[in-house]
Homo-oligomer: A and B are copies of this chain.
Amino acid sequence: MGIEDRKQREREGMQELILDAAKTLFVERGFEATSMRAIAEKIEYSPATIYLYYKDKNALIQDLHSEGFMRMNRDMGVLQLVRDPLERLIAMGRAYVQFSLENPDYYELMFIMHKPMQGLEKPEEWKMGALTFESLIEVVKECQALGRFVGKEPLQLSFLIWSCVHGICALKCCRRIEIIQTIPHEVLIKDALDYFSDFLTRL
């Protein structure tokens, strides 16, 4: 029946309408600062209507959470074409940081905020993140197969590498980088990434 299909489409259209409005406001005014009423006003519906399409505010956040991971995976997908594992590893690190700089709001959602985590026991959505991490482990293993990172556990090493790039992103994102005022932050981050790459190469 085409009528059920139409209903389904309408439903998804409404969800997208809500999510887009929410996204815009979240980016504009931050997170806690955007109310359900504000979202409702933007799409010209009653606040109660939103609850017909999303269980609560957290559901909205979780949807954006997954969308963030899809974007990141899309952005980093092309890197699988890089043949040399070490080069790929370094490129992944740079792409990761770049993503966080270009989409700080998504990044915060994905890796910093507490909200999207709680009540998300199921790794169903979160699985996308685990997948990205596993591709990191894979590339580390490939590097090891070529004689690098000898005597290191790939999992632990991958975690350290992740920590390193995440640390850069998080300090920037949470504005703690601002205690450093002697040089521009872009330079700081660029240099840190260069050193990071240099270290990986030398190990």
Contacts and interface: CB of A to CB of B under 8 A. Distances in A.
Interface of A: 30, 32, 111-114, 117, 123, 126, 129-130, 133, 152-153, 155-157, 159-160, 162-168, 170-171, 174-177, 179-180, 182-183, 188, 191-192, 195-196, 199, 202-203
Can you tell how many copies of this chain the complex includes? 2
Nearest to A158: B180
Contacts of A174: 111-114, 117
A179 B114 contact: no
11 contacts: A113-B174, A114-B174, A153-B191, A155-B188, A157-B195, A159-B177, A160-B195, A162-B167, A163-B192, A170-B170, A199-B203
A160 B192 contact: yes
A23 to B, nearest CB: 19
A195 to B, nearest CB: 5
Tell me the interface secondary structure of chain A in the complex.
helix
Instruction: Give me the 8 closest cross-chain CB pairs, A-B, nearest first.
Output: A167-B167, A163-B167, A156-B191, A166-B167, A160-B192, A163-B168, A164-B164, A130-B179
Contacts of A152: 195
A182 B155 contact: yes
A176 B159 CA distance: 11
Residue among A153, A163, A195 with most chain B CB within 10 A: A163
